[in-house]
Amino acid sequence: MMNITPIVKQLLIINILFFVGTLVVGEPAYQILAMFFPENQGFHFWQPLSHMFMHGNFMHIFFNMFALYSFGSTLEHFWGEKKFLFFYISCGLGAVLVQTGVSYYYFNDAVSILESNGFQRTEILQLLNQGKINTQWQSLLTATEYQNFISSFATTMVGASGAVYGLLIAFAFMFPNAELGIMFIPVPVKAKYFVPVYMLLFDGFFGIFGNSLMGIDSGIAHFAHIGGAITGFLIMWYWKKNQFNDRRWN
């Protein structure tokens, strides 16, 4: 088993310190450091970065840190510290960008319907930022539209999952035939098969159809996972394409 590498070690320590801090401080820590919808008055400019070190519960941080250690140390060993840190942070920011973009789509879709029925955007935002709703909204929106509208504005985003998904993509790129031992599956699965199938089934399906088919919000930012994976894929594709010319990373 590969020894833990310097940046992975520091990331593990920072995430654990943040998690312990949130246990001590409680909800105020999430109000400051979790990622809010940009039009929510709780949003601050540092949250796209700080949310990556926040986690909702023990199992959340355990699985993310286990994946960071398992895949991150191998990648940092081959890439070096600077390249690995750049990749990790980029995937985390890409996760925020995609999840926020999807939230804006859901939010603005509902606002457009409300505006066509006489409501003003400023009025809607004012009520939402006061923690209030207008009961007429529910009669003008479908159940799914209303749920997406409210959750897009009010739900915060925490966790290193987006960055970790980028690491999964990078690992599959670099070691496609590496066999991964997966819980509940009795035989090893090659990385080039496991990573895309897992993301397609778990995050692709539930991200697009989860709420509408089940009528519940899982609390998992599936589009953030997809965003981290897409960012990781694009970076890996660019690096592979340019690895033999003067634009490669040294």
- Say what the pLDDT of residue 200 is: 65
Within-domain flag for 140:
no
Cβ within 8 Å of residue 7, ≥6 positions away: 72, 76, 81, 84, 85, 88
Within-domain flag for 72:
yes
Give the chain's domain count: 1
- Say what the pLDDT of residue 240 is: 84
DSSP bridge pairs for 35: 157
Mean pLDDT confidence for 210-236? 70
DSSP bridge pairs for 180: 189
- Say what the pLDDT of residue 203 is: 53
Within-domain flag for 95:
yes
Mean pLDDT confidence for 79-97? 96
Calculate helix-pair angle for 222-241, 206-214, nearest 10 degrees.
170
> What SS3 class is residue 89?
helix
Q: 199 near 229, Cβ under 8 Å?
A: yes
Within-domain flag for 40:
yes
Within-domain flag for 144:
no
Q: Residue 29 is part of which domain span?
A: 6-102+159-242
- CA neighbor of 159 nearest in space, from 51, 79, 21, 67: 51
Within-domain flag for 230:
yes
Within-domain flag for 154:
no
- Say what the pLDDT of residue 3 is: 82
Mean pLDDT confidence for 10-32? 96
> Which of 3-17, 101-115, 203-217 is predicted least confidently?
203-217
Using alpha carbons only, give the angle 166, 201, 176 rounded to the nearest 5 degrees. 45
Per-residue pLDDT reduced to its tens digit, 32-54: 999 999 999 999 999 999 999 99
- Say what the pLDDT of residue 118 is: 94
With 50 as the cut, is the pLDDT of residue 24 above it? yes
Which CATH number do you get for residue 186?
1.20.1540.10
Q: Give the mean pLDDT of the chain.
A: 86
What pTM does this model have? 0.86
- CA neighbor of 168 nearest in space, from 81, 70, 62: 70
Within-domain flag for 153:
no
With 70 as the cut, is the pLDDT of residue 14 above it? yes
Q: How confident is the model at residue 188 (pLDDT cuts 50, 70, 90)?
A: low
With 60 as the cut, is the pLDDT of residue 211 above it? no
- Say what the pLDDT of residue 160 is: 93
Q: How many residues does the chain have?
A: 250
Look at the alpha carbons of 33, 37, 40, 44 in this order and tell me if their dihedral is positive or negative. Answer: positive
Q: Which residue has the higher pLDDT, 49 or 198?
A: 49
Q: How confident is the model at residue 143 (pLDDT cuts 50, 70, 90)?
A: very high
